[in-house]
Amino acid sequence: MSPEQHVEDLRDSSVHDKINQFNTLAMQSKQLERKTADAALKRAMLGREEAEAEMRRYRDECRALRKQVEEGKERERKVGERLETVMVRAQSLPRG
């Protein structure tokens, strides 16, 4: 092997080493991007699950409050009817 050929082989080897290093860095960069994207996706999924759970709690609370309002209206109606009955009876009593 001539000295020129040896220098050319070393240069080619150095170029191939640089290409391999670049490819390795590019692959590592893609893996890191994928891990970052996966972590962001997991955070988004957890956030959605938490929001859905909170929405269910709000719906349950709203349902319970509606029920309480309806029960209150029913009590008010019954009290009104009773009051009307009492007033009618009181008017029919002889005054003395």
Looking at residue 6, its pLDDT comes to: 62
d(CA 56, CA 47): 14
Work out the end-to-end distance of the chain between its first and last CA atoms, rounded to an integer number of angstroms: 141
Rounded to 5°, the CA angle 60-75-67 comes to 10
d(CA 84, CA 2): 121
**Paired tokens of 66:** 């509606």
Residue 44: which domain range? 1-96
> Which position has the higher pLDDT, 20 or 11?
20
Looking at residue 94, its pLDDT comes to: 82
Q: What total number of domains does the chain contain?
A: 1
Summarised one tens digit per residue, pLDDT across range 47-72 is 999 999 999 999 999 999 999 999 99
Summarised one tens digit per residue, pLDDT across range 20-52 is 999 999 999 999 999 999 999 999 999 999 999
Name the residue among 27, 37, 93, 94 with its Cα closest to residue 45.
Answer: 37
